[in-house]
Chains A and B, each alone.
Chain A
Amino acid sequence: MSALVARRNSRPLRRKQVTTAYLLLAPFVVVFLVMLIIPLVYSGYLSTFRTTLIGGTQFNGLANYVRAFTDSEFLGGLGRMGLFLIIQVPLMLGLSLFVALALDSGRVRGSAAVRLLTFVPYAVPGVVATMMWGYLYGNDFGLIGQILRAVHLPAPNLLSAQNILGSMMNIVTWQYVGYNMIIMFAALRTIPTELFEAAEIDGASQLRIAWSIKIPAIRNAIMLTVIFSIIGTFQLFNEPSLLRPLNPAAISSSYTPNFYAYNLAFINQDINYAAAIAFVLGLFIAAISYVVQLSTRTREGDGK
């Protein structure tokens, strides 16, 4: 009797469930299509053309992409961001991991306050943060310089061409340590505590527990933060854009690939080439992310 009822109602009920599912998805899909997919397609379409002030717009095939791959300014920007990646990301994620582990170990008093404080920099809008640091870095009147001079220490020019990349790394680290820490901390909280009890019975120290149990257990969360950091690094825009007025000699218009695309589109009026650069950058980020994910997966495979 109940089976009959179930079968008689199943198709309309199922259809109703499917319809509801699509209806609930619809807002997201609409926004996703309109804000992401359609502009992407349009951008790809634009990247196959060439517009000149004299001569108008002509079809250009893949010539813009060839130009992007041989553009020393673009490649230089990519290289610079590669350097940024291998120095800043391990430092920042290492710091986040350290703080997350410390908070999780339960040895820190007032851990809620510490969590909030490390997260606050992320809550500060990127533009505001960069402008604030720009002031702090100022050569003559910046706070850092003033303090160093007050204690008779040499004050390096933190905005000079040699130091600006490191100064940017500092800003990004300050901003995102809390964000990455929260992700890792949340993952740590989901580890079943029986593992720790077992380890402590076996005589493992907190450090050993952290290294052998906690870190491998949150491998996925760490991977997430690594991928986010790779994407964020190659898309760096706020810092070069806002710090450039302070020292235009240190930051060229192609300092980072994203900044280059922006200047190409809005200063050089070269929208088509900018679209191509944006696509090549996107492909590059996707490739790097894939390689990083692959390399950690194989390691896991070997271990097991």
Chain B
Amino acid sequence: MQLNRRHLLGLGAGALAASAVAGCSSTTSSTAASGASVISEDERTKALNTPTELTFWTWVPDIATKEVAKFMAAYPNIKVKVENVGQGAAHYQKLRTALKAGEGGPDVAQMELQYISSYVVTKSLVDLTPYGAASLQPLFVDWCWKQVVMANGIYAIPQDSGPLGNVYRKDILDSAGITTPPATWDDYYTAAKAVRAKTKSYISNFASGQGGMFVALLWQAGAKPFTWDGGQKVGINLTSPEATKVMQYWQKLIQEDLVSTDADFNDAWYQGLANGKYAGWVTAAWGPVFLQGTAAKTTGLWRAAKAPQWSTTSDASGNWGGSTTALIKGTKNPIAAYELAKYINSNDASALQFATDQFFFPVTKSTIANPTWSSQTSDFFGGQKVNELFGGIANSVDANFQWLPFMEYVYSSAQDTMTPAITNKGDLVAAMKAWEAALKTYATQQGFTVA
């Protein structure tokens, strides 16, 4: 059938390209960390000057007119078609379908940090080492770079991250008598009681179905719930002392009615933020972007602070979300695609633009050190230098955090086990056990060895 023939042609072309790349040696080739040889400058120049059309799937707003436009201006022979095929889960579903069909997929796609391993395990991403990705390492923040390296390869170029912080309504907390943002989780508990008693708001909402946030909180507490060795071994531990500590804390707040448990990112939740039902949000650095759109009428009343800490002596932060750009297997123009991914994420001007125009949290050392970015003030936060604050937080993210290679199922399973327990104010530790059991069953069914 025609489908099969095209699929085979694509594979053949890929194999030819791969063998050409491997067999090529020139005066300027170098060996990357993993031992694979890197393409020559001649090949790179040739690819950049050949008229090419690339397809780029991403849901980042305005990227076509900003960063990608910069790339196309620098390399006029390469045309990039930017397509938004959905946000988050919808994007991944389409990607999976295209990969399964063997056609219809993009050359380059947005890939959140947490999903990279899920696509590496199905061999859906192109290893970027042969294109020189190893040379990009010094440009990026260490913990972020570690997230894109696995299974003997480099599989994505980091774009932004989501270090946890606490954004809150200064006016509501002031009226409850809280003038300094809570520094520890114990302080947060006390503050929650005051807010509930003296105002009509909750100090924040513990979103019942937001698996990404649970994991970020575990990350902050030093838990390492997931490991994957790049092959057949996975580790799943949601009942460690750190994880239990986190869940017992939130169970206490939920059961004492100090936080609400509404599902997030739906209409009612946006209304809650805009109307002051929630006096704060423990969220990632990209969180405020959502506030500025939907809670626009509360501009100037918000402030950002470090996320509450478990320890009084050292700072630790978790990470929620954050994206990268990856090459999808089957791309007919890997060199051009690599150059696109490299340019938009590591070119100084482009990386800075992500941070200043789209309010991404930068992962390039140059942007973080750039005073244009760090001194940017925000009207929404009453003139606060939010970037400077989050910049400090980013340094305390635990660099050794891993993900399971089937995160779609992990989050779906969280909604089946954790969400009912949270909504019904039940036993969260028992729910974590159930979640862990479901994940272990799935991993074994899929052929993994579970540690």
The chain A residues found within 8 Å of chain B, CB to CB, are 52-55, 134-135, 138-142, 161, 245-250, 252-253, 263, 266-269, 271
Contacts and interface: CB of A to CB of B under 8 A. Distances in A.
Contacts, number: 80
A54 B272 CA distance: 44
B96 A248 contact: no
Contacts of B272: 140
18 contacts: A52-B445, A53-B122, A53-B405, A53-B406, A53-B446, A54-B121, A54-B232, A54-B447, A140-B271, A161-B420, A161-B423, A245-B209, A247-B423, A248-B415, A249-B423, A253-B416, A266-B96, A271-B100
B158 to A, nearest CB: 25
Closest 8 CB pairs of A and B: A54-B447, A249-B423, A248-B209, A55-B447, A52-B447, A53-B446, A249-B420, A248-B419
Main SS of the interface on chain A? loop
B96 A269 contact: yes
Interface stretch (B49-57, B175-183, B218-226, B259-267): B259-267
Interface of B: 89, 93, 96-97, 100, 121-122, 208-209, 232, 262-263, 265-268, 271-272, 275, 277, 405-406, 408-409, 412, 415-416, 419-420, 422-424, 442, 445-448
A269 B232 CA distance: 17
Contact of B422 (A55, A135, A249, A250): A249
A252 B414 CA distance: 10
B390 to A, nearest CB: 28
A267 B406 CA distance: 9
Contact of B263 (A135, A248, A252, A266): A248
A142 B267 CA distance: 10
A55, A140, A248 — which one has the most chain B CB atoms within 10 A of its CB?
Answer: A248
A252 B448 contact: no
A248 B411 CA distance: 12
Contacts of B100: 271
A166 B408 CA distance: 30
B349 to A, nearest CB: 37
B271 A141 contact: yes
Contacts of B93: 266
Given A53-B122, A263-B412, A246 B419 contact: no
Nearest to B274: A141
A268 B409 CA distance: 5
Given A247-B423, A263-B412, A141 B447 contact: no
A303 B93 CA distance: 54
Nearest to B409: A268
B423 A52 contact: no
Contacts of B420: 161, 249
Contacts of B445: 52
Given A52-B446, A266-B96, A269-B406, 20 more contacts: A53-B121, A138-B268, A139-B262, A140-B271, A140-B272, A245-B266, A246-B263, A246-B266, A246-B268, A247-B423, A248-B209, A249-B208, A249-B209, A249-B263, A249-B419, A249-B424, A250-B423, A268-B412, A268-B442, A269-B409
B32 to A, nearest CB: 27
B446 A245 contact: no
A52 B406 CA distance: 11
A69 B422 CA distance: 31
B408 A269 contact: yes
Nearest to B264: A245
Given A54-B447, A140-B277, A269-B96, A245 B263 contact: yes
B412 A140 contact: no
A139 B96 contact: no
B247 to A, nearest CB: 16
A247 B406 contact: no
Contacts of B277: 140
Nearest to B261: A249
Contact of A253 (B265, B415, B448): B415
Contacts of B415: 248, 252-253
A134 B267 CA distance: 9
Nearest to A252: B416
Contacts of B405: 53
Contact of A138 (B208, B267, B422): B267
B427 to A, nearest CB: 14
A142 B448 CA distance: 45
* B96, B271, B415, B422 — most chain A CB neighbours (10 Å): B415
Contacts of A52: 445-447
A76 to B, nearest CB: 12
A138 B448 CA distance: 42
Nearest to B422: A249
Contacts of A53: 121-122, 405-406, 446-448
A262 to B, nearest CB: 10
B381 to A, nearest CB: 25
Contacts of A248: 208-209, 263, 415, 419
B208 A135 contact: no
A53 B405 CA distance: 9
A249 B265 CA distance: 15
Contacts of A267: 89, 408-409, 412
Nearest to A254: B416
A211 to B, nearest CB: 46
Nearest to B265: A245
A134 B415 CA distance: 19
A228 B26 CA distance: 69
A246 B423 CA distance: 12
B311 to A, nearest CB: 32
A40 to B, nearest CB: 16
B210 to A, nearest CB: 9
Contacts of A55: 447
Contacts of A139: 262, 268
Contacts of A141: 267-268, 271, 275
Contacts of B406: 53, 269
Nearest to B207: A248
Nearest to B210: A248
Contacts of B423: 161, 247, 249-250
B208 to A, nearest CB: 6
Contacts of B408: 267-269
A271 B272 CA distance: 38
Q: Which of A53, A250, A252 has the most CB of B within 10 A?
A: A53
A139 B263 CA distance: 12
B97 to A, nearest CB: 8
A250 B263 CA distance: 11
A252 B419 CA distance: 9
B398 to A, nearest CB: 26
B228 to A, nearest CB: 11
Contacts of B208: 248-249
